[in-house]
Amino acid sequence: MTYRRLLAEFLGTGLLVTVVVGSGIAAQRLSPDDVGLQLLENSTATVLGLTVLILLFGPVSGAHFNPVVSVADWWLGRGSGTGLAGGELAAYVVAQCAGGIGGAVLANAMFAVDAGMASTERTGGGLLLGEVVATAGLVLLIFALARTGRGALAAPAVGAYIGAAYWFTSSTSFANPAVTVGRMFTDTFAGIAASSAPAFVGAQLVGAAVGVLLVLVLYPSAGRAADAVVVPHPEPTELRA
């Protein structure tokens, strides 16, 4: 595990949360009386930002930016010796969560929002089911692309999926524990109260398990492609120059 991979995961996750939170703040200020338009602005920025971040950091770390993706990568690849090792998984998750918090703090600072924990409660079985659906679909999409040699399409495909899931899920598709943790640190349109976050993370873990099960049924040998998740990334020595 090189520092470059961890730095890429830290920066990528952090900037993703900055995009989500920053565009949420901007949307709330630009369209204060139209929640639907706020969500459209927020989701559009997220689609574009996530696509760019995967293209930017993918060649270094694979652009997981998401603990459930890293866990699925470790779980599916462990039998074939591909994907993340246990120690690498732990390091990725720490870097992602730290990045998520930093990204929210950065967005708050750019828009001169007072620092503080989010107060927006997001509760209810429907929202949690939305997180299960969103996360399961994300895991299935990523590993299906990797297994079929279409990892180069991951950036636009993942961006498009998350953008669509903003609208077809009741929860607006957090689908990411690190992003959920980060969004606890902004009391704005994109925030989530600390009391709501554990249930969201739990639903995301359930969704990840469902996604992995679907991958194993539909693509039984997907673990062999774990090194190409989310996008193919060479060994660190190949990046020296």
Question: In whole angstroms, how far apart are CA 42 and each of 13, 50, 167?
Answer: 17, 12, 11
- Inform me whether the pLDDT recorded for 114 exceeds 60: yes
Three state DSSP letters for the chain: CCHHHHHHHHHHHHHHHHHHHHHHHHHHHHCCCCHHHHHHHHHHHHHHHHHHHHHHHHHHHCCCCCHHHHHHHHHHHCCCCCCCCHHHHHHHHHHHHHHHHHHHHHHHHHCCCCCCCCCCCCCCHHHHHHHHHHHHHHHHHHHHHHHCCCHHHHHHHHHHHHHHHHHHCCCCCCCCHHHHHHHCCCCCCCCCCCCCHHHHHHHHHHHHHHHHHHHHHHCCCHHHHHHHCCCCCCCHHHHCC
pLDDT one-digit tens code per residue, 19-53: 999 999 999 999 999 999 999 999 999 999 999 99
Question: In whole angstroms, how far apart are CA 32 and each of 37, 48, 156, 208, 224?
Answer: 9, 23, 30, 35, 48
Query: How confident is the model at residue 84, as a pLDDT?
Result: 94
Where do the domains of the chain lie, and which CATH numbers do they carry?
Answer: 3-230 (1.20.1080.10)
Query: How confident is the model at residue 100, as a pLDDT?
Result: 98
Query: How confident is the model at residue 115, as a pLDDT?
Result: 82
pLDDT, the chain, mean? 94
pLDDT one-digit tens code per residue, 139-189: 999 999 999 999 889 999 999 999 999 999 999 999 999 999 999 999 999
Q: 81 pLDDT band (50/70/90 cuts)? A: confident
> What is the rounded average pLDDT of the residues 116-128?
96
> What is the rounded average pLDDT of the residues 79-95?
93
Query: How confident is the model at residue 232, as a pLDDT?
Result: 80
Q: 231 pLDDT band (50/70/90 cuts)? A: confident
Query: How confident is the model at residue 239, as a pLDDT?
Result: 56
